[in-house]
Amino acid sequence: MDIFVARQPVFTSDKKIFGYELLFRLGLDNVFPNIDGSVATSGVLSNTFFSFGINDILSGKPGLINFTRDLLLKQTPLLFPKEHIIIEVLEDIEPEPEIINALKSLKSQGFRIALDDFVYDHKFSEMIQLCDMIKFDIMATPLDTLGPVLRSIENDLKHITLLCEKVETHEAFEQAKAMGFQLFQGYFFSKPEVISHKGLAANQVTNLKLLNEVSKQELALNVIENMIKNDVAISFKLLTFINSAYFKRPTAVDTIKDAIIFLGLQELKKFITVVVVSEMNPKKPNELIRSSMIKARMYEQCADVIKTRFTPGELFTVGLFSSMDAILDMPMEDILEKIALSEKIKDALLGKDRMFSQLNDLVTSFEQGKWDHARFQADKDSQLIQKLPVFYMDALKMADSFFASP
């Protein structure tokens, strides 16, 4: 059976990763019928902790998982390590005595509890006392309407973390932060904060020159080796990456030369590109670069099962550069004027290539857990659709290995 799992990042107020909400489907046949929530959550748990491996999908961070009324009453969370999951109580669960007792039991055993898509009503007072987190969906309850609600639960906020969902703009992020929200979920981080025609800093110009160098068709290994040796940061990241769990090496690689030989020229050029892009703007959250790497790796793998006018390496480059406007807070057109990329790659980044736009739409929808996308249903039996879950998990491992601590 196909297993579809995606994760949605949850950020702190300084844009660091707090954890991930896990989304799950047993397969595309379950997207349109109303799959039972208990079945879906059971699938998330069993596949996250047993099939995929908790470190592969959560990278050591807590996972927020929806639990239905039935699963709460059955005390299903007790089957899993409390330090790895946060119980999300769905918005349609009523505060009946059986539920309150179930939550009290879970709370007493160390589990964290979140109220999902919360809409305030006095009847939830006892639930609020038991929870550690409240999630507000600002598409359903806009920030401008939440002032009275937050005042109503003001006395409880000393022990409760407020999470703002569906944050799509930096303005909403700043407004929610000013209102007292501590955690944030949404895609505000992947959009430019201020589109302007500002110039590039000196280090950014240097990085772009390095990108131009590694984009050449032919590049000698000794030239690359010297470039890496002269950059402590790249040397450190290369050795950390090559010795990560992603490569499953039996023995450690200790020298730059050995790392280069192991990776090979094309993979090394790809690695350098990733490093340079990740250092373009240190003020940006790592999740932005991680997301770009996930897309890049997924695009690259898609080239094995679909015909395009791009090579796998070119698709990787397009994916990696897809968020460059958000990284540099500049229009993509201005950035591409400074980078020696081919015209077809530039067309893809500017949305002028129809085939790539369709592929991007598909991969983005998968990554965001939007499996009700029409393309998934129309082509659910295609080789590409069937392989996307595998591509996604491999891309997660690669991206997380790049950012893993040594």
Question: What is the domain extent for residue 173?
Answer: 4-190
Higher pLDDT, 162 or 202: 162
- Confidence (pLDDT) at 1: 44
Q: Percent of the chain, pLDDT > 70?
A: 82
Query: Can you tell me the mean pLDDT for 339-360?
Result: 89
154 and 11 in one domain? yes
- Confidence (pLDDT) at 30: 43
Q: pLDDT digits over 86-104, tens only? A: 999 999 999 999 999 999 9
248 and 167 in one domain? no
- Going 390 to 392 to 398 to 400, the CA torsion angle's sign is negative
Quote the distance between the C-alpha of residue 234 and its chain's center: 23
- Confidence (pLDDT) at 161: 95
Q: Mean pLDDT check: name the lowest of 36-45, 178-187, 224-233.
A: 36-45
Q: Mean pLDDT check: name the lowest of 36-45, 128-137, 168-177, 205-214.
A: 36-45
For 119-224, list the strands marked E by DSSP.
133-137, 161-165, 183-184
396 and 364 in one domain? yes
C-alpha 250/C-alpha 53 separation (Å) is 20
Of 190, 216, 238, which residue constitutes the final position of a domain?
A: 190
In DSSP notation, 309-369 reads: SS-HHHHHHHHHHTTHHHHHTS-HHHHHTTS---HHHHHHHTT--HHHHHHHHHHHHHHTT
Q: Could you give the number of structural domains in the chain?
A: 2
90 and 10 in one domain? yes
pLDDT at position 230 over 80: no
- CATH number for the domain including 215? 1.10.3210.10
Decide if 195 is inside a domain.
no
368 and 261 in one domain? yes
pTM of the model: 0.79
Decide if 397 is inside a domain.
yes
173 and 241 in one domain? no
C-alpha 385/C-alpha 374 separation (Å) is 12
Longest dimension (CA), the chain: 71
Decide if 196 is inside a domain.
no
213 and 69 in one domain? no
pLDDT at position 260 over 90: no
Q: Give, as one character, the DSSP assignment of residue 192.
A: -
Phi, psi for 231 (deg, rounded to 5):
-125, 105
330 and 294 in one domain? yes
Q: CB–CB of 276/211 below 8 Å?
A: yes
Of 157, 190, 223, which residue constitutes the final position of a domain?
A: 190
Q: Give, as one character, the DSSP assignment of residue 128.
A: H
Decide if 315 is inside a domain.
yes
Query: Can you tell me the mean pLDDT for 339-367?
Result: 89
- Highest mean pLDDT among 132-141, 251-260, 284-293, 381-390 belongs to 132-141
